[in-house]
Amino acid sequence: MQASSSAKAQTRKFGVGKSIAYLLIIFFIAFIALEMAWRAFLYSTGRGFFDDPNEFTSPFFTTYEEPPPTKWESTAWYRNAEVPVAKPENEIRIICFGGSTTVNQRAGVSYSALLDEMFSESTTGPTVRVLNAGADGFSTAQTLVNLSLRNLELSPDIVFVYHNINDLSVKDFGDWVTSDYANKYKSDFYLGFRHRTGFLAALVKMSRLARFAVSSIDALAFPQNQYGEAGRTSRTNDHAQVLTYFRNNLRSIAAIAREHGIRLVLASQAAHSELRRVEGFAAFNRAIEEIAREEGVEFVDVANIMTDNALFLEDQIHYTRPGVERLAEILYPSFRVIVDELTAGQ
């Protein structure tokens, strides 16, 4: 009797083990199928089957997104439009640079796209295209390089620069600030997974689906997790050094625009009232106005016009859709004046 019970127990254990093995095999097959399906989708959208050919690594700073536009032969793709690299006659181009508040992915629409629509409603004068060259997490460091190396070829007539918070937060990474912001952009949060180290990075390097899942979780937790260990242990809480680099970058952008006959527009960055009262944030906005005055370029004081807290998401810096619409309404008159001046001078 005991032998029979023991045999039954062993049979049950074998059955459970067999079931677990089957489940693991089914899970593995399902995972491989999902991985292949995800890679096929990425391949169909031009992002490669094995690795993304557009994953961007700069010799001076690294971050997870390629600076717009992407180009192929005679065509350039911005976030909101596809245009020929060679600007057609009777066209005025406005290129907007900034971080996630220029991308505006969470709002579902960008101020660049709305401005483009506003100008398209005009039935007289030249065609005006407003192009979105923003990228998540970008600062004046990325804009300086992106304007110089990727966008001058597109012959912009007007360049709009909208930065603050991504430069200000450089102080929250590591024990000191570097002039190229490498202390921030070489942290794990901004490095692509192929360039990260550690156990999790080793796992996700093998699976693009896992890479996408982890990146999505990171994005949902932004900005709480953006600083990581570097931010929590930072001793560089004084924003003065970063402000010096920020001013230098804006002056360099202004010099490039002036050299190439481009009209530059700067703007203070809008935010929830709690963030606007932060000394560093306010100091950076004041610096933008001062640089605009010193360089003789157009300045739009968005921060002191767009003050309704209902226009911002819970993170205090990104906009709701009405917030994006309000920003476009604020910017349009300044762009309209410059467009009319350029048209009159033709």
Of 74-88, 173-187, 192-206, the range with the highest mean pLDDT is: 74-88
Mean pLDDT along residues 245-267: 98
Across residues 173-180, what is the average pLDDT?
86
Q: Label residue 6 by pLDDT band (50, 70, 90).
A: low
Mean pLDDT along residues 87-106: 93
Amino acid in position 189: F
Q: Compute φ and ψ for 326, nearest 5 degrees.
A: -65, -40
Average pLDDT over residues 167-185: 88
Average pLDDT, the chain: 85
Whether residue 338 is predicted with pLDDT greater than 80 in this model: the reply is yes
Identify residue 105 by its one-letter amino acid code.
Q
pLDDT at position 1, please? 52
Per-residue CA distances from 270 to 67, 102, 312 (Å): 23, 12, 9
Least confident of 5-14, 283-292, 298-307: 5-14
Q: Is the pLDDT of residue 288 over 90?
A: yes
Query: Which tokens belong to 249?
Result: 């970058």
pLDDT tens digit sequence for 115-140: 999 999 876 789 999 999 999 889 99
**CB-facing half-sphere around the CA of 59: CA atoms within 13 A:** 2
Lowest-confidence region among 37-41, 100-104, 173-177: 173-177
pLDDT digits (tens, 9 = 90+) for 41-76: 988 887 788 766 556 555 445 566 778 999 888 999
Beta strand 70-72 pairing with 75-77: antiparallel
Angstrom distance (rounded) from CA 61 to CA 67: 12
Q: What share of the chain has pLDDT > 70, as a percent?
A: 79
Cα separation, 288 vs 179, whole angstroms: 18
- The dihedral sign for the CA sequence 275, 278, 280, 286: positive
Q: What's residue 229's pLDDT?
A: 41
pLDDT tens-digit readout, 191-226: 766 666 667 666 666 777 877 776 666 655 544 444
Q: Which CATH superfamily is domain 70-187+227-345 in?
A: SGNH hydrolase (3.40.50.1110)
Phi, psi of 299 (to 5 degrees): -130, 135
Give Rg (Cα) of the chain: 25
Query: Alpha-carbon dihedral of residues 93, 98, 99, 102, nearest 10 degrees?
Result: -50
Least confident of 147-151, 187-191, 281-285: 187-191
Higher pLDDT, 188 or 97: 97
